[in-house]
Amino acid sequence: MSRTGARKKSKTQSEDRPSSKELKHLLLLWQFVRPYKLQIVGAMIALIVAAGTVLGLGRGLKALIDQGFSSGDSALLDQAVFVLFGVTVLLALASYSRYYLVSWIGERVVADIRTAVFGHIIKMSPAFFEVTRSGEILSRLTTDTTLLQVVVGSSFSIALRNILMFFGGLAFLVITSPKLTGFVVLVIPFVLIPILFFGRKVRRLSKDSQDRIADVGVFADETIGAIRTVQAFSHEDLDRGFFSSRVEDAFGTAAVRIRFRALLTAVVIVLVFGSISAILWIGGRDVLEGRISAGELSSFVFYAIVVAGSLGAFSEVIGDLQRAAGATERLLDLLAMKTDIAAPEKPVSLPKKITGAISFNGVGFNYPSRPTQSAMVDFSADIKAGEKVAIVGPSGAGKTTVFQLLLRFYDVQKGIISIDGIPLRELDPVEMRTHIGMVSQEPTIFSTTALENIRYGRPGASEEDIYAAAKAASAHEFLNDLPEGYNTFLGEKGVRLSGGQRQRLAIARAILRDPEILLLDEATSALDSQSEMAVQNALDNLLEGRTTLMIAHRLATVLKADRILVVDDGKIVASGTHRELIKQDGLYADLAELQFGAEMNPSVQAPDQSSGTHQSQVAS
């Protein structure tokens, strides 16, 4: 499948996600809001006081007009203005408290959600990441949580305030003029109907817009992560076009959403303020005929504006609430996912030091993304404590799968894998992995300093231990030569280091970890001859007394092994020493000729297994 086709398929998978249609999903946020009850109570009190003071302004306006202006008494006017100013100050204080507390709660809740989602995601098994786009996860951690911050820290408070203002204003309208209130009540359904109609459209478009933004993030993340490949194949212009297409899709969807939301606001304004105009006309005639006072009409218009404004503001907020409902559902769906690899309720505890004996007994395994294709079939092998075993086989034979299953990144469908006689399923995978060290052919270097990259092998290790590990891996010299030594920032994925330097850094990390079981995926493959010799000596010391599995691509690795397992189509087809397997003239002999050809020589002598020495002699 082409890169473009894969992305189209990924986009379809994104569109297949269930969309949220209910604001009730926002109630699921309560589990994160609940710890901050004191701040919530304070915010609610401030909210009620602020709403109450706004509603009180209408009564103050009536008193100001009827008692201050109409009576001609300047003392009453002074008193009315003073009370009005006092109410205004109270409103300002209440609004400050509400804004601060609600915004604080929003930021705190979103921080907790981000931490919870990330903490949950990194516990998921690799099977989860086979079917889930990393860019989509990043979108959930950024875009969706930002939506929730807007809702919890602003929109939800505004919605509550406007609900209070709406019903409070409606109550004062009834008190002021039941006749005019009846007219307002008749108009309200005509305002609510377009809110509900357009709101449903905005909700669907909001979900589509979020999906398109996620597609943009996924494409950018993948392309930037492979920038060297992109540039090596002169793919910049083509990828720029692909990215622009994704951006335009997101913009187009957002533009439609904005148009409907703007239309919703315009319709509400026309209906609301058209109704207020009608109220002024009807109420003005009542004032002229003496049925109500000028102060009462002014108060009624004030409350009508409050009711109308609260409806208009709610129509603005409802879009945010609907978008956040979908974001909440997706985030909590992530949190609800169960990892395929979990510790049993009562895991068996491993001793502080294990012997490192490994057993594969009749193991059968299919990768989740390839359920019909067997990656391992009736795989059985017993590896003694301290034994060094090389794994050789053609590409796709299942060599890497051995490592994946031993680290329990996946659970086998058949058979048992055990360490020190204890099945992996009975162990806590986190505890079990502390006894395993791994150096891969393409080591992972984190975007931090060299010191912290090595310390990753054993958090809390002293600088002296780190320096010792680096020296053992022949990394100390080049690390010291960096601009800031061990404290030099290595760039994303260690881009400031050469391939061989990254490999030695990974070896130093494994040496620092000091594991009883070591997994090596041809750890010296990226080194030059001089560095390889130094690192081989370091590995000789590292391998001493440890159970070691080595995926072999070079003759030097094979000759270090006590035993060689030849793997093909997920099965062990031969086992023995280099000399024994060469004599069998089977798959191993063919692989040796192809894989080790340049290193093989008729005068190369296999190691003397009986004496336990590993030496090769090449005739001059």
CA 569 to chain centre: 35
In the chain the domains, ranked by start, together with CATH numbers, are: 27-336 (1.20.1560.10), 442-514 (3.40.50.300)
Q: Which of 4-8, 62-66, 482-486, 495-499 has the highest mean pLDDT?
A: 482-486
- pLDDT tens by residue, 127-153: 787 777 776 787 778 778 877 777 777
pLDDT at res. 358: 93
DSSP letter (8 states) at residue 349: P
Half-sphere CA count of 354, side-chain side, radius 13 A: 24
pLDDT tens digits, 155-201 = 777 878 888 888 888 888 888 788 888 877 777 777 677 766 776 77
> Which one, of 254, 29, 257, 54, lies nearest residue 153 by Cα?
29
Instruction: Inform me whether the pLDDT recorded for 461 exceeds 70.
Output: yes
Task: Answer yes or no: is pLDDT of 112 > 50.
Answer: yes
Q: Which two tokens stand for residue 178?
A: 């039941």
Decide if pLDDT at 406 tops 90.
yes
What's the pLDDT score for residue 80?
A: 67
The answer on pLDDT for 392 being more than 80 is yes
Question: What integer best gives the mean pLDDT of the chain?
Answer: 79
Judge whether 328 and 29 are in contact, CB under 8 Å: yes
The b/e string for 390-410 (b: 16+ C-beta within 10 A; e otherwise) is: bbbbbeebbbbbbbbbbbbbb
Mean pLDDT computed over 89-109: 87
Give phi and psi for 436, each to the nearest 5. -120, 135
Of 74 and 398, which is predicted with more confidence? Answer: 398
- 525 pLDDT above the threshold of 70: no
**Residues 130, 369: contact at Cβ < 8 Å?**
yes
pLDDT of 416 above 90: yes
More confident residue, 381 or 344: 381
| Residue in 431, 448, 368 with CA at minimum distance from that of residue 401 | 368
Q: How many helices (H) and strands (E) does the chain have?
A: 22, 10
Burial tier of 556 (Cβ tally within 10 Å: 0-12, 13-18, 19+) = middle
Tell me the average pLDDT across 266-282: 76
Amino acid at position 428, single letter? D
Instruction: Please give the pLDDT value at position 619.
Output: 28
In this prediction, residue 395 has a pLDDT band, given cuts at 50, 70 and 90, of confident
In this prediction, residues 564-583 reach a mean pLDDT of: 89
For residue 620, pLDDT beyond 70: no
Chain centroid offset of residue 52 CA: 42
Short-list 144, 157, 164, 142, CA closest to 106:
157
pTM above 0.85, yes or no: no
- Three-class DSSP category at 170: helix
- Rounded distance between C-alpha atoms, residue 544 and residue 564, angstroms: 18
CA–CA separation, 578 and 575 (whole Å): 9
CA atoms of 206 and 209, how far apart (whole Å) = 5
Structural contact between residues 526 and 503, judged by C-beta atoms closer than 8 angstroms: yes
* Helix, strand and coil in the chain, % to nearest 5: 65, 10, 25
Percentage, residues of the chain above pLDDT 70: 85
Cα atoms in the Cβ-side hemisphere of radius 13 Å centred on 318 = 27
> How confident is the model at residue 563, as a pLDDT?
92
Instruction: Give, in order, the Cα–Cα distances in Å from 459 to each of 366, 453, 454, 468, 476.
Output: 34, 10, 9, 15, 19
Q: What is the pLDDT of residue 531?
A: 62
Q: Cα-flanking dihedrals φ and ψ of residue 459, to 5°?
A: -55, 135
Higher pLDDT, 447 or 28: 447
